[in-house]
Structure 1
């Protein structure tokens, strides 16, 4: 922050070019114009640490001493999402949910996670140390639903451990509806409480369109979408058959539901992407990968290098791990690259690359 947005984009583009220089072919690798984001109010999800007291809770972050810094007015969030925070804070007081005191290691409510769909509907998750407050949340929930008519999905997540993670393994539904519909370019993706979804819907739509263009130009008969999440890439592609692979069973169920509604010839599998790919008897024409920050790793990179797959669309939120993975796949040339500024006002960005197998 403190730089003009135009300067931020130039800096990110230079950073990505430097990291990917070794894997790029001079004169043949094409850098497409970066995709800009709205400079503010672009996040569809708020991950707020809860601190303070029952009477005066803070929603935001913690300072160096572990005290709450309230960020209810943060400009990262759209106005309708920001408008929900005061109602949530009042609910914490009304339901007498003690905010978790990190230095003292006592209290119940650790985080509130609020996601907004493109149509304005909201998903709210209370991350709690135990189930102690769940009964009170259920009791007072009708008043919160009345105060926030856009609130469609509510759940409690239980995180008993004292550690720096966002959520635990147990999710307790508190409303009948348990999926939020994230419409991206006419594809209604179903988001469940513990499923991953990109935080910038506008830039995500551009990313999916770019991947679809690359895939359409390749005209593959078979596509794998590894680390497919709720099916964002897979369900925006038009190919005779697509297989999506994701470890989260919730995400796979959501992707399969969307595919059924759209009548798409897509299959979704709950499995580890690397283990699944290595176990298949035949490789597809094209592979899409959208891994976490650590990248696809040595084993999957080695498989892609030797698989005979003609094209790979690699979407990365960490150009450092992307560069490392590309170095392990020298037979795949970087043909086109595009930066997607998913996270303005930070040093982070998404970058997507089209890889094609070099002629023998």
Structure 2
């Protein structure tokens, strides 16, 4: 029998945080997950639901607050799903993220002796996002915009987001006030009615250039000139206004067709000394300040002398590749998305790099062919999606055996899993450096350095 039942009211001690920021308390070994509770706190809770091996409870009262508890400054923190840990001080956030990475490396990777360093954080952990994806909708006859509530597609209506740029706020508020006056109907996901689905605002930190993408259900957009005039008046630094057409019944933001309504097709940014052209759908790291820290760490672990050939699997638009090309003899990048490879080639040309090669295709197929052609890597860099490296790519690494592997990860659990596989295949993990790319959220990136034993 479970030690707690639904509707019980209890005083519990919070021991930990989950990967999505809920407090964890145990009653006779039975975990209760409590949104809003922090480690070290004694809290009164109302049990909402009990399953076989864990349950959920609502925070009623804090009897003994954590010294790291702060008042969340965001007006919609309690409903918006964008940030999970604004109520935790920034020092507390960094400590939580270091522990999260270390616990994954120890428990999943079975690597308790690998050093996991203190998190490299930000001086100012606010207003850092260079891209905002803002859904628009209708609630009670009025236009709403903001971000989705946690685990839902209900929009938490707001006029301010403290982790996006001031320009994104201005465009969000200005459009929200004027859409219906211009005759533009916000999209309703449930009925598939309306025109404007999302507004995506991108800002290049180095140049200050702004791109605004209007994601519409239909290509026909008679109010385009009015929208262009309004956006330019709201944010004069706008240099590109683009329409993306997505007619599908889907949660995916972008459709396949993109049209330039006004200004340039791309904006330009820099990471360190490397220039990048960014289009409406380019993948580009969200936090420009920490991207330089993250890539700098990857470069440090690559330990390049100018004589190495480097392979960058999952190279995207060539961001890490070109960072590495500054110090490598030759860099080869592979990425499954053909458009990203075209962007990578263009960015290499933009910077005058002649020591790079980019190819579209699955890394686990392209890299073995490169080896057969004599294109072998001294250093291999991987920066996979949240699901981690493809199993076949890991087998490829173990077959080709580059002397050094640098693993850039956005998911500590899959990083730990993949490190275990590489360790079992003859590599040794020297150290792991977490980097906080997403302050106020539970997400944490990390860079691991591996050497062939």
List alignment gaps of at least 5 residues for structure 2.
1-84
Q: Matches of 1:183 and 1:336 in 2, distance apart?
A: 28
TM-score (normalizing by structure 1): 0.90
Q: Matches of 1:10 and 1:67 in 2, distance apart?
A: 32
List alignment gaps of at least 5 residues for structure 1.
none
Equivalent residue for 1:107? 194
CA contact (8 A) 2:212 2:241 kept: yes
Decide whether aligned partners of structure 1 residues 291 and 46 sit closer, same or farther in structure 2, where only a CA change above 3 A counts: same
Divergent runs of 4+, >4 A:
22-27, 53-56, 62-67, 217-220
CA contact (8 A) 1:87 1:148 kept: no
3-state SS of the aligned residue for 2:103?
helix
Q: Matches of 1:71 and 1:225 in 2, distance apart?
A: 40
Q: Matches of 2:272 and 2:239 in 1, distance apart?
A: 21
Q: Matches of 1:124 and 1:328 in 2, distance apart?
A: 43
Decide whether aligned partners of structure 1 residues 187 and 91 sit closer, same or farther in structure 2, where only a CA change above 3 A counts: farther
3-state SS of the aligned residue for 1:178?
coil
Q: Matches of 2:430 and 2:292 in 1, distance apart?
A: 22
3-state SS of the aligned residue for 2:104?
helix
* Deviation (angstroms), 1:166: 1.9
CA contact (8 A) 2:101 2:116 kept: no
Alignment partner of 1:288 out of 381, 384, 393: 381
More helix by share: 1
Which whole-Å deviations, capped at 9, do the CAs of 1:35-85 have from their partners, x for residues lacking one?
102321111111111112799422213458855332331111132432332
Q: Matches of 1:138 and 1:227 in 2, distance apart?
A: 39
Which whole-Å deviations, capped at 9, do the CAs of 1:255-286 have from their partners, x for residues lacking one?
22222232221122222222212332143111
TM-score (normalizing by structure 2): 0.73
Decide whether aligned partners of structure 1 residues 35 and 221 sit closer, same or farther in structure 2, where only a CA change above 3 A counts: same
1:130 aligns with 2:215: no
3-state SS of the aligned residue for 2:275?
strand
1:6 aligns with 2:91: yes
3-state SS of the aligned residue for 1:245?
strand
Equivalent residue for 1:271? 361
Alignment partner of 2:161 out of 68, 74, 77: 74
3-state SS of the aligned residue for 1:175?
strand
Equivalent residue for 2:321? 234
3-state SS of the aligned residue for 2:422?
coil
Equivalent residue for 1:352? 447
The farther-off stretch of 110-119 and 153-162 is 153-162
Equivalent residue for 1:20? 105
The farther-off stretch of 194-203 and 276-285 is 276-285
Q: Matches of 1:296 and 1:66 in 2, distance apart?
A: 29
1:251 aligns with 2:321: no
* Deviation (angstroms), 1:141: 2.2
* Deviation (angstroms), 1:15: 1.1
User: Which gives a bigger RCO, structure 1 or 2 (Cα 8 Å, sep 6+)?
Assistant: 1
Equivalent residue for 2:4? none
Equivalent residue for 1:48? 134
Alignment partner of 1:185 out of 262, 265, 272: 272
CA RMSD of aligned residues (A): 2.4
Equivalent residue for 1:33? 118
Determine which structure has more spread, i.e. the larger CA radius of gyration. Answer: 2
CA contact (8 A) 1:180 1:190 kept: yes
The farther-off stretch of 98-107 and 30-39 is 30-39
Number of paired residues?
Answer: 356
Q: Matches of 1:6 and 1:234 in 2, distance apart?
A: 32
